[in-house]
């Protein structure tokens, strides 16, 4: 029995070595999930306007750009009406930025993507108040 195994190894040594190298190089070059060094702004919508604007009542609808500090016509950091954007910290999130689209802010927070305030704001941007 030992001689059969030895003969098999001798006969297929190069093939076995090639398979081993292929597996090793494939595993070494396999891309890991992208980690984000910077936070990401997301556009959000209120799921049920009759309920408070809590993370579980805010649905992420898409990726957003940095909102302005203030604006009388668009979503901005200093506005006080309905929430329209949220800034999430994706450093510990195990996924891609797009994975959070159509999820709630509460889901994001539960999956290591918390709301991240920056100096002078609470991590949320809001619509301007109607006159």
The pLDDT tens digits of the residues spanning 90-113 come to 999 988 889 999 999 999 999 999
Same domain, 93 and 115: yes
* Residue 58 structural domain: 40-126
How many domains, the chain?
Answer: 2
Same domain, 99 and 46: yes
Same domain, 44 and 25: no
In terms of Cβ atoms closer than 10 Å to its own Cβ (0-12, 13-18, 19+), residue 24 is exposed
Same domain, 24 and 44: no
The pTM score is 0.71
In a domain, 78, yes or no: yes
**Per-residue confidence band for 67, with pLDDT thresholds at 50, 70 and 90:** very high
In a domain, 131, yes or no: no
123 phi-psi bin (left φ>0, alpha ψ -120 to 50, beta other):
left
In a domain, 82, yes or no: yes
pLDDT at 35: 53
pLDDT > 60? residue 82: yes
Same domain, 102 and 83: yes
Same domain, 63 and 119: yes
Same domain, 56 and 120: yes
Question: What is the spatial distance between Cα 62 and Cα 72, in angstroms, rounded to a whole number?
Answer: 22
91-118: burial string, b at 16+ Cβ within 10 Å, e else: eebebeeebbeebbbeebbeeebbbbee
Helix (H, G, I), strand (E, B) or coil at 86: strand
Contact by Cβ (8 Å): 42, 64? yes
> Which residues are bridge partners to 63 per DSSP?
42
CB atoms within 10 A of CB 78: 14
> Which residues are bridge partners to 87 per DSSP?
41
| Per-residue pLDDT tens digits for 9-55 | 677 777 766 676 677 666 655 555 555 567 999 999 999 999 989 99
In a domain, 35, yes or no: no
């Amino acid at each position: 029995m030992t001689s059969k195994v030895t003969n098999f190894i001798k006969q297929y040594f190069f093939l076995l070595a090639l398979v081993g190298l292929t597996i090793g190089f494939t595993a070494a070059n396999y891309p890991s999930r992208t980690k984000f060094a910077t936070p990401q702004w997301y556009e959000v919508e209120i799921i049920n306007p009759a309920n408070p604007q809590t993370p579980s009542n805010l649905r992420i609808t898409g990726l957003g750009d940095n909102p302005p500090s203030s604006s009388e016509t668009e979503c901005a950091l200093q506005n006080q009406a309905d929430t329209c954007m949220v800034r999430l910290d994706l450093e510990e999130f195990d996924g891609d930025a797009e994975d959070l689209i159509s999820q709630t802010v509460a889901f994001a927070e539960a999956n290591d993507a918390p709301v991240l305030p920056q100096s002078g704001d609470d991590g949320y941007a809001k619509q301007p108040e109607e006159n």
